[in-house]
Structure 1
């Protein structure tokens, strides 16, 4: 089992502190959802776990080892994959070229998202927002990472494709952490852990069903 966690994490952007002693534990295989409005700190939590932003206090722990000082590229080499909200694909490359960077055979990605098949020769930067999210997540499926961190995975997708996306994420043999503004309807009846942030602090941590009851 993989466990990725923040312990009493603090992150500063200049004079402003974005995380105020946040503790989050994400087990895997399994799905953890970070809930929060814009400015709540959910994206910062993802970036802190990935090593994109440094901590000003606290620690990042992976499988029981303190990896706080490990740079982002080393975490990636160990099997961590971050899919940011923006610029998650290589816009100047074609869809096929983006996929081939992750694996020689793009067939599993096209099985997951058949909508990409007719777009293989298109440059990724010309795709719609939802199509770019499908492409970014397809690359994750091909890479088979140990840890997946995704900021708003279903952004720009239709409800059916969003549901498919969460099916794919839940089926991964990985520790999966996603950031969302609201609990997606498709997750309400699924097993999973939810952590809600507000103004850089954890205000709730529990099962998805408890989070649904909390918000009515």
Structure 2
């Protein structure tokens, strides 16, 4: 499995606070990599470090063997990186149609509207008036309309119904299958519908606490939730 992009011993500081403590994160090509963690764990900072929207205080970002640590975000985007943040991912005062046009100038918006037909009757609406789930659909259209080599998505299913969330994860997996994209999704819990062999990394307080496969992670989580053997059932005999 070839590595498309990676963090190497990455540290990020926000003032006096160090948000990442020497994180090593390989992102394989043509694969969905899942980055798990609670709010404040460092998930978003990892995506921003890969995208170049926050600088590293130490460590490197390596993309296909080249050190791109000092490459600014707009140049990473030109090289084929798409970052969909969890907030401020839209132009709120522009219509849905205008946001789609800006996502991929000169391209037919049909692929995004086919993926999310819920957006069709909303084309004339300002993006800021949409529900949370509708805004996430519109934000994700950027990745669907202009397929990239690296796609980073912060909480893709935020505000979506379970059915639409499952469809969203299938669409992201489709970017790997059709275009060979390396996709990273940051979530609070494991998404449904991904292969058991999908790589998973869990962050706690800016440090990786688990790296392995999705099936391994879910099995471990199930064991941790299971009551200890010999525990009283609560009924007296």
TM-score (norm 1): 0.97
1:191 match: 197
Alignment partners' CA distance in 2, 1:19 and 1:33: 17
2:91 match: 90
Alignment partners' CA distance in 1, 2:142 and 2:67: 28
1:208 match: 214
2:127 match: 124
The CA RMSD over aligned residues, in Å, is 1.1
Report the Cα offset of residue 190 of structure 1: 4.2
Q: Tell me the SS of whatever aligns to 1:186.
A: coil
Report the Cα offset of residue 2 of structure 1: 5.7
Report the Cα offset of residue 48 of structure 1: 0.4
Report the Cα offset of residue 120 of structure 1: 0.5
Q: What CA deviation, in whole Å up to 9, does each residue of 1:75-100 have, x standing for no partner?
A: 01111111111111111111111111
Structure of greater Rg: 2
Runs of 4+ residues deviating >3 angstroms: none
Please say if residues 94 and 127 of structure 2, whose CA atoms lie closer than 8 Å, have aligned partners that are also in contact.
yes
Q: Tell me the SS of whatever aligns to 1:39.
A: coil
Alignment partners' CA distance in 2, 1:35 and 1:197: 6
Q: Tell me the SS of whatever aligns to 1:7.
A: strand
Alignment partners' CA distance in 1, 2:115 and 2:29: 21
Please say if residues 154 and 187 of structure 2, whose CA atoms lie closer than 8 Å, have aligned partners that are also in contact.
yes
| Residue number among 77, 87, 112 corresponding to 2:115 in the alignment | 112
Determine if the alignment matches structure 1 residue 167 to structure 2 residue 170.
yes
Please say if residues 196 and 213 of structure 2, whose CA atoms lie closer than 8 Å, have aligned partners that are also in contact.
no
1:141 match: 144
Please say if residues 7 and 23 of structure 1, whose CA atoms lie closer than 8 Å, have aligned partners that are also in contact.
yes
Q: What CA deviation, in whole Å up to 9, does each residue of 1:151-204 have, x standing for no partner?
A: 0000000111000000000010211001001112333x4431100110110111
1:158 match: 161
Alignment partners' CA distance in 2, 1:202 and 1:37: 12
Please say if residues 12 and 18 of structure 2, whose CA atoms lie closer than 8 Å, have aligned partners that are also in contact.
yes
Aligned residue-pair number: 215
Please say if residues 2 and 146 of structure 1, whose CA atoms lie closer than 8 Å, have aligned partners that are also in contact.
no
| Residue number among 155, 166, 186 corresponding to 1:179 in the alignment | 186
Please say if residues 4 and 61 of structure 1, whose CA atoms lie closer than 8 Å, have aligned partners that are also in contact.
yes
1:15 match: 16
Q: What CA deviation, in whole Å up to 9, does each residue of 1:109-147 have, x standing for no partner?
A: 111100000000001111011000000111210011111
Q: Tell me the SS of whatever aligns to 1:86.
A: coil
